[in-house]
Structure 1
Amino acid sequence: MIESFAKTGFAHVPSVLDASTCRALCAQSPSKSGAGDRSLLHQPWCATLAASLREHPALSSLLAETPVVVQCTRFAKSDKHNWLVPLHQDLSIPVADRIDHPAWSGWSEKDGLLFAQPPVDVLEKMVAVRVHLDVCTRENGPLRVVSGSHRHGRLDLATARRLRDRIGETYCTADTGDAWVMRPLLLHASSKADGESHGQRRVLHFLFGPAILPHGFRWNPAA
Structure 2
Amino acid sequence: MTNADGQVALLEGRGHLLVPAPLPPAMLDAAAKSLDQWLGQAAGSRNLLAHPPCREMAIQLKARLCRKGLLDASSVAVQCTLFDKTPERNWLVALHQDTSIPASADGMPAVIKEGEPYVQPPIDVLQSLLAVRVHLDDCGADAGPLRVVPGSHRAGRLDPDEAQALCAAHGDTVCTAARGDALLMRPLLLHASSRAKSPARRRVLHFLFGPPGLPHGLAWNHMVAGDPPSPRET
TM-score (norm 2): 0.86
Q: Which runs of 5+ in 2 are unaligned?
A: 1-6, 225-234
* Kept after mapping to 1: 8 A contact 2:212/2:223: no
Please say if 1:135 is aligned against 2:135: no
Q: What is the TM-score when the length of structure 1 is the normalising length?
A: 0.91
Match of 1:109 in 2: 112
Structure 1 residue 94, shift from structure 2 partner: 0.6
Residue 21 of structure 1: how far off its partner (Å): 2.8
Q: Deviation above 6 Å: which 4+ runs of structure 1?
A: none
Give the 5 Å matches for 1:1-223.
Answer: 1-30=7-36, 31=39, 34-56=42-64, 60-64=68-72, 67-95=75-103, 97-101=104-108, 105=109, 107-195=110-198, 198-221=199-222
Displacement of 1:19 in angstroms is 3.4
**Contact 2:47 2:114 (8 Å CA) reproduced:** yes
Q: Could you list the per-position Cα deviations for residues 65-90 of structure 1 after superposition, in whole angstroms to 9, with x for gaps in the alignment? A: 76111000011100121211000000
Unaligned runs of 5+ in 1: none
Deviation at 1:2, TM superposition (A): 0.6
Could you list the per-position Cα deviations for residues 11-34 of structure 1 after superposition, in whole angstroms to 9, with x for gaps in the alignment?
Answer: 000112343332221101133553
Change (3 A) 1:53 1:180: same
Equivalent-residue separation in structure 1 for 2:86 and 2:145 (angstroms): 12
Q: Contact 1:36/1:73 (CA < 8 Å) preserved in 2?
A: yes
Deviation string 1:41-95 (CA, Å, 9 cap, x unpaired) is 0122211110110011577411127611100001110012121100000000011
Distance in 1 (alpha carbons) for counterparts of 2:129 and 2:51: 22
- Equivalent pairs, count: 216
Change (3 A) 1:112 1:201: same
In 2, distance between residues paired with 1:118 and 1:65?
Answer: 23
Aligned-residue Cα RMSD (Å) equals 1.9
Q: Tell me the secondary structure at the aligned position of residue 155 of structure 1.
A: coil
Secondary structure class of the residue paired with 1:56: helix
Report the CA distance shift for 1:34/1:193 in structure 2 as closer, same or farther (over 3 A): farther
